Amino acid sequence: MELLSNLALGFETALSLQNVIYALVGCLLGTLIGVLPGLGPSTTIAMLLPITYSLEPVSALIMLAGIYYGAQYGGSTTAILVNLPGESSSVVTAIDGYQMARKGRAGAALATAGISSFLAGCFATLVLAAFAVPMAELAFKFGPAEYFSLMVLGLVGAVVLASGSLLKAVGMILLGLVLGLVGTDVNSGTARYSFGVPELTDGINFVALAMGIFGFAEIIANVEQREHRETFTSGVMKLFPTKDDFRRFIPAAARGTALGTVLGMLPGGGATLSSFASYTLEKKLSSRSHEFGHGAIEGVAGPEAANNAGAQTSFVPLLTLGIPSNVVMALMVGAMTIHNIQPGPQVMTSNPELFWGLIASMWIGNAMLIVLNLPLVGLWVKLLKVPYRLLYPAILVFCCIGVYSINNNTFDVFVTAALGVAGYLFARFGMEPAPLLLGFVLGPMMEENLRRALLLSRGDFATFVERPISLGLLIATLILLAVVALPAVKKRREEAFQET
């Protein structure tokens, strides 16, 4: 009964005219940036963070959340029609979706992706609502030692699940931790790593960092790309799948939903990991594994369900523990702190309208997305004809205006530009920027909880292993490190990175 009353409060908040409009704006923007390759939810959310200053906290988070899970829908459109994933989680969808389009079954592929995404999103939101209260109650048992151990687990999880070199992923985490320490020490009031620059005494601006390594770097990288697209749109208007299609893709969508729901809650998890894992699972379980890569409908349904489920359950650790599980959730932490909201279990009691309103808005957003994606597919296809050389300068200008408007300081714009060049170099040398951002967000939190734990224990480090929850989290961290250190796992990471 308590869950029902909480959801009633959530729907009352989410169904206000203002919040419905912002949910629609978020879903539209999410679909748009999902359709346009080269832009992703992390880039777009980083760009839009300055705008959220002028919005109500609930409306801002509803809009940003809509962008995130909306991009999972939109990314499948270009993956299927152009073989050019608009979002990283849609890479797997392109494998079989594009082959279906080449055979004149683009409509069936798009409908399968849309229906699977809708069902998965609705189920994952239900799981989020059901897990919210128990997870929040567990979080109240966490002390500084438990939070420190949980953050260590989160950072190690980000390293484990990053693609490519393990050493590079660790390096990016450490760089993020160092950047997070720039500024004034809270306890002593001493400036750290500011090198005599007054602007750095307040630390590196989160929006400048996020927009630099994602927004600017993405623009620089995409300017190098040549525009060559072969679009298959025959059969797009024949959207309704056949009975045989339903018989084949519904079980795959159900398995993808279950897998994505679990993986989305893991540190470093989310939509991308879920979609890749689902495709691997479907290929192993299917009696028609020979069709995978040649237009198997299960290869569209499973990953699309998984990436939407993973996108929505990744809000569980953010809303209940205050810990971001992936880079988009780290950006959501930034959006909450902009409005002086400390993410964690206290949000449920101190601001229940925001907490349950955000959850309820996800059902509303999923309903909007199924309407936006299928009937308007012709419009999204036309957007692919817009030359990107016209889009990028406009995006760059809006980014600079957004960064400057935060503190009315040109120094932030220069920092963003410098970090943009750094982000571009990271990409060129195969170093993912996502672990850096997670390290930047979690670093100050880790330091604060480490100090508190040692203060309470009078400097005794044994407190981290004497407390059962903290010990369990540290053991899980060691298991993750042991797994990733296995030669077979390291070899597979390198091979997967080379393929991408």
Q: What's the CA gap between 114 and 78, in Å, rounded?
A: 13
* 3-state percent breakdown (helix, strand, coil) of the chain, nearest 5: 75, 0, 25
DSSP string covering 369-405: HHHHHTTTHHHHHHHTTS-HHHHHHHHHHHHHHHHHH
Number of other residues whose CB lies within 10 A of the CB of residue 389: 10
Residue 41 CB contacts under 8 Å (≥ 6 apart), including other chains: 30, 33, 34, 67, 68, 71, 87, 328
Alpha-carbon distances of 36 from 10, 188, 246, 441, 462, rounded to whole Å: 32, 48, 29, 28, 51
- pLDDT tens per residue, the chain (500 residues)? 677 888 888 899 999 999 999 999 988 888 887 776 556 677 777 777 777 777 888 998 899 888 888 877 777 777 777 666 656 667 678 788 888 887 878 778 888 888 888 888 888 888 888 877 787 777 777 888 988 888 888 788 767 656 567 778 888 888 988 898 888 886 777 888 888 888 888 888 877 887 788 778 877 776 766 555 555 554 455 667 778 888 888 899 999 999 888 877 765 556 666 787 788 788 878 777 778 877 888 888 888 888 888 888 888 888 777 777 777 787 888 888 878 887 777 787 788 888 889 888 988 988 888 777 766 766 766 666 666 667 677 777 777 877 777 677 888 888 888 988 998 898 888 887 878 877 887 888 888 888 889 988 888 888 898 888 899 989 988 887 777 666 555 555 455 445 44
Q: What's the CA gap between 69 and 54, in Å, rounded?
A: 23
pLDDT at 500 (0 to 100): 46
Q: 3-class DSSP state for residue 191?
A: strand
Tell me the β-bridge partners of 192.
183
State both tokens at 9.
């409060």
Tell me the β-bridge partners of 183.
192
Question: Is residue 304 within 8 Å of residue 112, measured between CB atoms?
Answer: yes
Q: 3-class DSSP state for residue 192?
A: strand
With b meaning 16 or more CB within 10 Å and e meaning fewer, what string describes 168-177?
bbbbbbebbb
DSSP string covering 231-286: ---TTTT--SPPHHHHHHHHHHHHHHHHHHHHHTTSTT-SHHHHHHHHHHHHHHH-
The phi, psi pair for 259, rounded to 5°, reads -65, -45
Predicted model pTM: 0.70
pLDDT at 255 (0 to 100): 92
Residue 495 CB contacts under 8 Å (≥ 6 apart), including other chains: none
